[in-house]
Amino acid sequence: MSIEEAVAEIAGVMKKAGLVWLAWDGRRAVPAWFATVDGQYVVLADRSDSAEQPLPGLATSGAVQVVVPAKPAMNRLASWQATVRRLEPGSEEWTAAAQVLRTERLNAAGLDTQLERWRSEADILVLEPTGELTESAGRFDATPRAETPPPSRATTRGKPPITLHRRIRRRPKLS
């Protein structure tokens, strides 16, 4: 497969994606929302510990594996390799990417200060396809991807409700 064919296939699967999974530097893959700007795939990587989109070390990684999930997200549509390029804050390319990312960002808080916050606390990164498709339709490896969830402080607050997984029976209407 030529680089042009691979890039065209990547473009086709990326149109179907709402988010992607990114893995770099031997880390576990993490979900990331992205936007397409002038045919380039851009992600926001927060440098601070805020809840925007923490992707620590991605800006300096140089390379990343991008996994595009199918809907429902139980399968993969494709997996491809990309190089990572950081956009310079304040440049025309950064501003254009930030405006598109801003419209794609769901449930954003502080819209009036969002771009200034991104300029000082985040990196906007371009994921440039290398042309290497590691998985695509009909070319998936059989490696199981099941992993133990990472440790978390999250917990259930008590017993689940009694009606969990029970259907509510409706009484027939009397005429």
**Global pTM exceeds 0.95:** no
- Over residues 91-137, the pLDDT tens digits come to 999 999 999 998 887 667 777 788 888 888 889 999 999 988 887 76
Has residue 11 got a pLDDT over 70? yes
Share of the chain above pLDDT 70, in %: 76
Q: Which of 93, 122, 126 is nearest to 110 (CA)?
A: 122
Q: Which amino acid is at 29?
A: A
Residue 72 has what pLDDT? 67
CA atoms within 13 A on the CB side of 133: 24
Phi, psi of 135 (to 5 degrees): -145, 145
Rounded to whole angstroms, the Cα distance separating 99 from 95 reads 6
User: Which residues in 18-142 belong to E strands, given as ranges?
Assistant: 19-23, 30-37, 40-46, 63-69, 76-86, 122-135
- Over residues 126-167, the pLDDT tens digits come to 999 998 888 776 666 666 666 777 676 666 667 766 665 656
Looking at the domain covering 3-135, what would its CATH class be? mainly beta
Cross-strand partners of 83: 63, 128
Please, are residues 32 and 127 in contact by the beta-carbon 8 Å criterion?
Answer: no
20 contact partners, CB below 8 Å, separation of at least 6: 14, 31, 32, 34, 66, 67, 68, 69
